[in-house]
Every structure is written in C-alpha cells, then in structure tokens.
Structure 1
Amino acid sequence: MTVSTAGGRSASPAVREFRQDAKRAGTSGQLSHADRVALGKDARRVTPREAHAEFQPGPRDPVGLLLEQSKSRVPDLVPIRHGRMLVSAFTFYRGAALPMAADLATTPTSGLQAQLCGDAHLSNFGAYASPERELVFDVNDFDETLPGPFEWDVKRLAASLAVAGRDNGFGGKHRRRIVLAAVKAYRKAMRRFANQTYLEVWYTHLDIEEAIGQFRSQMKAKGFKATEKMLAKAHTRDSTQALRKLTTVVEGRRRIISDPPMVVPVEEVFPDVQASAAYEEIRTVLGKYRRTLQSDRRHMLEQFTLVQAARKVVGVGSVGTRAWIVLMDGGDGVEPVFLQAKEAQRSVLADYCGRSRYRNQGERVVAGQHLMQAESDIFLGWTHMPGPDGVDRDYYVRQLKDWKFSFPIEQTAPSGMDVYARICGQTLARAHARSGDRVALAAYLGGSDAFDQAIADFAETYADQNESDYAALKSAVEDGRARATTDI
C-alpha cells in the first residue's frame, strides 16, 4: 500500500486521473457529489487514516532553524523571542512553527488540501467583534497561511493540546480525552458541512457566547462564571481602552507612551530628521493600504488622520518581525482608532507546500484570512513599506484591538480545556470547509474514530519531540549559541 509523504504535493491516483481527464476535455474539472465521496475514500486507500499516528523525526536542528529564521528579524528583539519561548514547553511550541512544518513534511499525507492556518495551535483561536458587533470565535492568526494538507492544521492543534495539558499537569488519560474531543469535533463538524450547501457553510459562524452556553452542563460552575466574566471583559477591549493604556496627553497633545523595548515611538526609533521622513513615508504607505480596502471601508478610514506611530513587540513566535501601531483620530482626540501594521514574511510552509500565488506576503495573509474566517476585521488590508536598510517589506494591517481576547490556557482545568478543544475543532473544520472539498474530506474522515485515535497518538509523540526541542533551545542559550532575554 502506498502512503503519500511528499508534503501534500502528491495526489491519489483518482485525483491525478480526474485532473488529467478534465485537462484533456478542457473543462473546469468540477466533480459530482458521488465523485467527491469516491475521492475521499480513494485517499483512504492511498493513506489510511491510521497512518496519521506515524511520526519519526528526521535529522534536523530545531535551534538552527530558529536562528536561520531570525536573520530577517530585528536583531535586538530576537533575544526577547527566545526568552518568551523559554518560559515553558508550551510557549516554545507557540514559537516553533518552522521546526514543526519541517517535521510535518515527513509525515503521511492524505492528498486532500485546504487553506491552512499554518500555525493552528490553541492560542491562535480566540474571540473578536464581528462587523455586526457580535462576539464571534475563530482562528485569529494567519501569518503562516498557505494551501496544504488539511491534516497539518489538525495535527498542530492536537499537539498543542497535548503540550499545554502537560504544562498544566494533566494526566495522560485527561490529555488524550481532550485531544480526542477536539478531533472528534472537527470530524463531526466536517461531516455536517458535507451535507450543507456551500453558501450555508460560508455564512456559518460561531457565536462564542452561544457555544459556551451549549457546553454549560459540562463545565463546573466556577469555570462557567469565570468564562462569562472574560466574555464580558472582552467587550471593553477596543480602541478606547487601548488609548487609555497606550497613550497620555503631553502639552495638550495625545502621545504614545514610550516603554522600550516593548513600545517605542517612531521619534525614538529614528533620529529627528529621519523621523520626519518616516512620517511622510507612513502617510504614503497608509494611502496605499487604503486602496486594498473595499470602498465603504476606505471611505470610513479617510475620515481619520494620523496622530503618531510606534514599534510594538507582539506575541511569541512573531517577536522580532516588524510590527507598528498607528494612532489615528476622527476628531479632536475623542474618536481614536489604533491600527496595527505587522510584517508578513514568507510562510514557514512555503518550502514544503510551494510558494504563495501572491507576490506580496501581506496580501497572502489577508487572502488566507478572508478565506478561512467567517468574518474579518473591517480594516484588514495589506501594503509594503521601504525600510531604513533599503529593503522593502510586506505588511498586513488591521485594528489593534476590537473585543479581542484569548482563553487563559495556563489557568484552564481539564473540563474547561475539553470544552475549549471542541470549540477549536469545530472552528477549524468550518475554516477548512470553506476552502477545501468538504465532501471529500468528510468521506476520508468517515464515521468511525480511526482518524481521531491516530491523531491522538501523534499528539503525544509530538509532545515528546517538542520537549526535546525545548531542551535544545535551553542548552543553546546556556552554551551561548543563542541569546535570550528572559525578564521581558
């Protein structure tokens, strides 16, 4: 029996034959429902679902991969990235998307593709405000998005649950039950989507408050009240709250508070002359960015003027990439909007799934986000900006805060993690159903738990690998091969 392992690039015999027939016939190659079911079942014969339990780490240097990745980042911020990754095995996992991409490329693949998040660990899911001002839950990080084998996102999510469960002190049985809950939720949701029309799938979104209510009976009262409190707090996290937290008034003017190296205003990043030129460039870049928005949102943004910009350190894996916050105001300092312009580099999946169709990496991120998310930020767009070193860099832009929040993973009990895992699994399935062939995917996954059990096996095995890689970074810092700042 043949098992596909070429990073998802190979297709099953039925897929190849169909594509060849369609090409000869000069048609678009649209399959019937029955053919799509057959496609999924054929993929099982090429790569059995049980094969996804397999993982044999190849000869690769995780620290070397991280150091190579750091060469394109701000040198002074790279030690902060390493320091944040050293906090725990889970924070290391959050920053180690590249080593895992290299590992996933060695594993069996189904040949069934979808638009991937590329970094679908459980902290990259969260709640935010929809344009209709509802609190929705979705995947919320797309820095690594590319089309690829659907199971890579599932494995990244599943392994993150195993790693986080270990960090939280959960026993093996609890961890496995949590991982199985996530994968089962993914599989069952995909099978539901297979029976819906494409438009029904497209309009589906997850109302987080409604979802938590559905699982209320399975949550302890204390955990449910804590979750309700977090949801209520999320409604206060907007540009007004960011204004209070990040700015102050100096001589009658609103200014971003300097807190190096976390937040550094443009005036401190560059000398006076360069800062003035930088603001001229920022205005030009904002003009280019506006043109990537749909017309009504472009009109709305044109009502705001630039006040100040600053460099800001964000996340764990993203630390070192160039990220800017831009304070805009709609009138007399009382209508603030904080935008975040974040550098978009080449996806960690590109070496294994092929390069993006988009020349601008910011556009790659935005296109992937629009495809996977049910509802996206109204100011989501892209641009590029010349750097002081003469290198043009791609960026995507969005609001800094708009009811955004993530669950506190480190404080979550097994029962709460079980609920959260199911919500993440359902959400990932909906994201994949929008871009992949949901009928073929559902046929491949099937009605049994064969796929679930295999992914649960993989998750524990990969948690072992993650611990080994985490120890390798610790050793590299101790022997001076890598630098880390652990107090920021």
Structure 2
Amino acid sequence: MANAEAHRIERGRRELYKLGKSLRDGVPRDALADYDPPPSRDPLAIIETTLADRLPSLRPLRRDLMSESAFAFLRGTADVMAFDLVHQRAPGVRAQAGGDCHLMNFGAFLSPEGNVLFDVNDFDETLPDVDIVHDLRRLATSVVVAADDMGYSRSQARDFARRAVKCYRERIFQLAVMSPLEVWNVRVPLRDMVGTLRDRVLHDRLSTAIYTGKGPENRIDGLPRIEKTDKGWRIVEKPPKLSRFERMSDGEADMDIPALFEQLIRQGLQEPVATLFRRYSLCDCVFKAVGVGSVGVFCAIGLFMSDDEQPLAMQIKEAKPSVLERFGFGRWDGSQGKRVIAGQRVMQAASDIFLASADSSDAARRFYMRQLKTRRLGSISELLKDKAFPSYVELCGGTLARAHARSSQPAILAGYLGKGEAVDDALASFAMLYARQIESDFETFRLAQGAATSDKTAAV
C-alpha cells in the first residue's frame, strides 16, 4: 500500500512537471532574454505619479536618495519596472510575488523562536498569482546594476546574475520532490550560510552580528536611540528620517497614532498575541522615513514599555496598492493592509507574530503593523553584498525559490525551468539589457533633477 501511494504521488509530480514543460511551447525559455521597451514608456511621468501620492515634505528626500546611484534609482523604481515587465513575454508560471525583489529586499531577522533566518523581507508590492518571471527579472537586474555600481566588469555582472537564477532553479528542483507541508516548513538559517565562508574576518563579523546577546543593548536593538525624561521614555529625533509628528507640515501625518495602534491590536491580532501585547503600554511615537522606494509613505514607530521597563518597538505603515496591480499583473479586492501581511505570511518561512492590519476610521487609508526590524541583523545584507557578493546573490536566488514554492506547485516551476541552463542564460541576458535601460533612465532622471534645481535657483 505504501509503495502504491508513493508511486501515485510520483506520477502526479511527473504530470505537473510535464505541464510546466508544455508552457515552453507558448514562451520558449530563450525568449526570456528579450527586452522590448514599450513604445509609450515615460519613466519620469511614472515616477512623478508615484511621488504625487507621497507626503509633500519628503518628496525632495526621495528624489535625493534616488539620485545617489543607479542601484538606488533601481530600488526606487519598482513602478517603472512593473510597467515595462507587464509588456514582456512570460510563461504563466504563477506564485505569490514579492513584487520588488531586488537584492536589498532580502535580509536576516529573528524568528519568534529566536533563530536568525534569511528571507525575503519587504512585501509592500506583494500580490498573489503573478508569474514568477517578474520577481526573477527584477532580482537578476538588481544583481547586474549592483555589480556595476561596485566596479565589477560587465562579464562578471552577467555571471553573477546567471548564478542567482541558477540557484533559484536548482532549489526549485530540490523543493519539487517535497510534500507541500515539507516545503512550507523549510527554513534558511543564516548560520549555515556563514559557515561556508572562507573569509575568516567576514565570518567573524557576521557571527558577531548573528549572536543573540542577553544584555539591555540587545533588547532595544531594533529601536532608534531612546532616553528617559521627566515625561517618561522618549525616542530621540533624527530629522529628516525620524521626526516628531508636531514638526510635520503634512496634513496626512496628522493622525491619532495611539488610537490607530489600539485599532490594529484590537482588530488585527489573534487573542493570545493580543493578551501578550496588553502587558505593554505606549510611551512615545515618531514619524519615520523608510527605505528608498517607500520614502514619503506614512510610517510611524511606537515605543512600548512593560511594567518593568522592557521595550518593544512597533511600526505602522500605510499600505498603498501594489505596483503589480497598478500595471495589470493582477487584482486584489480586499484591504491593502491585509494584502501586505497575507503576502508576508505566505512567502516568509517564519513571520512576525505581531503582523496586523486595519483601515482608518473613514476607511480611506489602509495600514499594517509589524515589529521593528532588528538593526544589527538589518546590516547583514549590506555586509554580505559588499564583502561576499557572489555568495550573497546565490543566497537570494535560493531564498526566492523557497518563497515562491510555498504558494505554487514547484514541480510545474521545475518543468518550465528545466534541468539545463537555458533559463539561467536567458534571464542573465535580459538583466544585462534592462540594466542599460536603468542606466539610461537614471541619467535622464538626474538631468531632470538638475534642471529643476537650476530653475528654482534662477527663480530665487
């Protein structure tokens, strides 16, 4: 009986593999190398449309951050790339998409059990039932642009992109023979990756960052600097990225943050977690400008303290519609906050227990809540990118495969991707083409910024 059941399961997987392989008839794998710019593309117009939906006081900061490098520009233009990619050929191999899977949207975090894991860690653009090629194209392109910014040759940049896709493909084949439950429980412990590094200095630095200490400095590691005043514990400002709400000139920032936290706790948290949360009291709130692409989106940090003054840092962020939905990759009919936290729970192996969503009192705005990321772990992605770039891009590729496999039939993905290197080569070639598009758009953007600055100076 056991042998018969195993045979039935294996036969089912072979059929799914054949189904995936049949998709090559519609979109051959080498066709993924092509990039045809849409004739109607206007990257500056797309950027300005997105910018118009951000807090006015922070629009200049977002422009400045995007002007720093081609890679920073790529990080801030998930909207432009979504517009371009929806016009490219894709096979229809679908999963929950991250939507903005560039290299710096992967990272380390603590699981609820205290283990240090590596995973996708940004879900503002997530959307279900999207072709996996979107995420792969964005990841591969980010590899090329980052490598170019770091001074690697173009041949090296292409090879790195190819290796990221190869690790994705090989990981999909490993996952394709597992049961759905086994796939769901796969983790990526960061210690395992660090153990493979031959650079002793880097190994020691990463091991130090991963180490979970017990002192007070570790309990507040996710927080900005805090201090105890005659009014209690307060977050120390660091404008323009960390400011008190009374200093904000934007009407959209004038919100009852304690009431919003209470609503998120009451409506969004399961009762056992809500019971835990009631042991903490809100002491202070500040506004935070986050990321590159998210600068100008409403975001607040709340400092909570227990009776014995143990801190807990929470973040509220407004959930805007995904750029994937905006440009026709799919549709989400529910609350945008629920879209973000649902996508995180699907793609991440061990999600934050404090994830919650709620709408504003007038239902015009949507928000989600999570625990603030741990700072010492947040720096690991930058360290790996700068000091172990080839290993890092491979880690990101394999991690994305596991994230996609949680919401798909990995055997179908494996059938389309194949055991050969056709997809690796094709997507590496696409990344090289699209990286040139990024470089051209970046130069256009910088020239436009310079012209705008000159006009303002002349007016003065």
- Indicate whether the TM-score tops 0.5: yes
- 1:345 Cα deviation from its structure 2 partner: 0.1
Partner of 1:12: none
Instruction: Report the equivalent of 1:228.
Output: 207
- 2:378 corresponds to which letter in structure 1? F
CA distance in 1, matches of 2:447, 2:86: 26
Q: What SS does structure 2 have at the residue aligned with 1:349?
A: helix
2:14 equivalent to 1:41: no
Contact 1:115–1:435 (CA under 8 A) maintained in structure 2: yes
8 Å Cα contact 1:476/1:482 also seen in 2: no
TM-aligned CA deviation for residue 108 of structure 1: 1.0
Identify which of 82, 95, 101 aligns with 2:76: 95
CA drift at 1:366: 0.3
**Match among 342, 346, 353 for residue 317 of structure 2:** 342
- CA-atom RMSD in angstroms: 2.6
Give the 3-state SS of the residue equivalent to 1:342 in structure 2.
strand
Q: SS at 2:243's partner residue?
A: strand
Q: CA deviation at 1:283?
A: 2.4
1:430 equivalent in alignment to 2:402 = yes
Quick check: 1:300 aligned with 2:276?
Answer: yes
Counterpart CA distance in 1 for 2:97 and 2:268 is: 23
CA deviation after TM superposition for structure 1 residue 212, in Å: 2.1
State the 1:437 CA deviation: 1.6
Find 2:171's aligned residue among 189, 207, 230. 189
The equivalent position to 1:169 in structure 2, one of 140, 151, 156, is 151
Q: Secondary structure of the equivalent of 2:313?
A: strand
Aligned-pair identity (%): 36
The corresponding residue for 1:383 is: 358
Cα deviation for residue 303 of structure 1 reads 1.4
Q: 1:181 is matched by which residue type in structure 2?
A: R
| Structure 1 residue 336, shift from structure 2 partner | 1.1
Post-superposition Cα deviations, 1:331-350, rounded to whole Å, max 9, x if no partner, equal: 15x11111000111010000
Secondary structure at the counterpart of residue 353 of structure 1: coil
Structure 1's 418 and 439: CA in aligned 2 closer, same or farther, altered over 3 A?
Answer: same
Determine whether 1:256 maps to 2:235: yes
Counterpart residue type for residue 54 of structure 1: D
Q: Which residue of 2 aligns with 1:212?
A: 194
3-state DSSP class of the match of 1:155? Answer: helix
Consecutive unaligned residues in structure 1, runs of 5 or more: 1-30
CA distance in structure 2 between the aligned counterparts of 1:141 and 1:117, rounded to whole angstroms? 7
2:445 maps to 1:473 = yes
Any conservation in 2 of the 1:283–1:306 contact (CA below 8 Å)?
no
Q: Against the structure 1 CA distance between its residues 483 and 193, is the aligned structure 2 distance closer, same or farther, given a 3 Å change threshold?
A: farther
Report 1:58-77 matches (<5 A). Answer: 58-59=38-39, 60-77=41-58
Q: Secondary structure at the match of 1:201?
A: helix
Q: Which residue of 2 aligns with 1:119?
A: 100
- Partner of 1:310: helix, strand, or coil? strand
State the AA in 1 paired with 2:329: C
Q: Secondary structure at the match of 2:279?
A: coil
Task: Provide the rounded CA distance (Å) in 2 between the counterparts of 1:461 and 1:169.
Answer: 18
Instruction: Give ranges in structure 2 of 5+ residues lacking alignment.
Output: 1-10
1:459 counterpart residue number: 431
Q: 1:395 matched to which residue of 2?
A: 367
Counting only pairs closer than 5 Å after superposition, residues 312-351 of structure 1 correspond to structure 2 as 312-332=288-308, 334-350=309-325, 351=327
User: Counterparts of 2:234 and 2:454 in 1: how far apart (Å)?
Assistant: 36
Code of the aligned partner of 2:350: E
Equivalents in 1 of 2:212, 2:164: separation in Å? 26
Q: Residue 223 of structure 1: CA displacement? A: 3.4
Once the 2 structures are TM-superposed, how far is the Cα of residue 318 of structure 1 from its aligned partner? Answer: 0.3
Q: Deviations over 1:79-102 (max 9, x none)?
A: 101100111100111111000001
Q: Partner of 1:9 in structure 2?
A: none
Distance in 2 (CA, whole Å) between partners of 1:211 and 1:483 is: 51
Pick from 287, 298, 301: which aligns with 1:311? 287
Equivalent pair of 2:108/2:381 in contact (CA under 8 Å): no
Partner Cα separation in structure 1 for residue 53 and residue 31 of structure 2 = 36
User: For 1:383, what is the secondary structure of its paired residue?
Assistant: strand
> Letter of the aligned partner of 2:51 in structure 1?
S
Is 1:200 aligned with 2:182? yes
**1:242, 1:432 → 2: CA distance?**
28
Distance 1:406 1:102, change over 3 A: farther
User: Does the CA contact (< 8 Å) of 2:212 and 2:218 recur in 1?
Assistant: no
Matched to 2:34, the amino acid is E
Aligned length: 440
**How far is 1:412 from its partner?**
4.3
- Amino acid paired to 1:52: L
Return the alpha-carbon distance in structure 2 between the equivalents of residues 321 and 114 of structure 1: 27
Contact map agreement 2:117 2:189 (CA 8 A) in 1: yes
Contact persistence 2:209–2:377 (CA under 8 A): no
**3-state SS of 1:436 partner:** coil
Cα distance between partner residues in 1 of 2:201 and 2:383? 16
| CA displacement 1:318-359 (0-9 Å, x = unmatched) | 001000001111115x1111100011101000022122132x
Q: 1:450 to 1:380 in 2, by over 3 A?
A: same
Structure 1 residue 410: Cα displacement = 7.9
Instruction: Give how far 1:416 is off.
Output: 1.4
CA deviations over 1:375-415 (Å, ceiling 9, x no partner)? 011111111235xxx783111111113364144548846x8
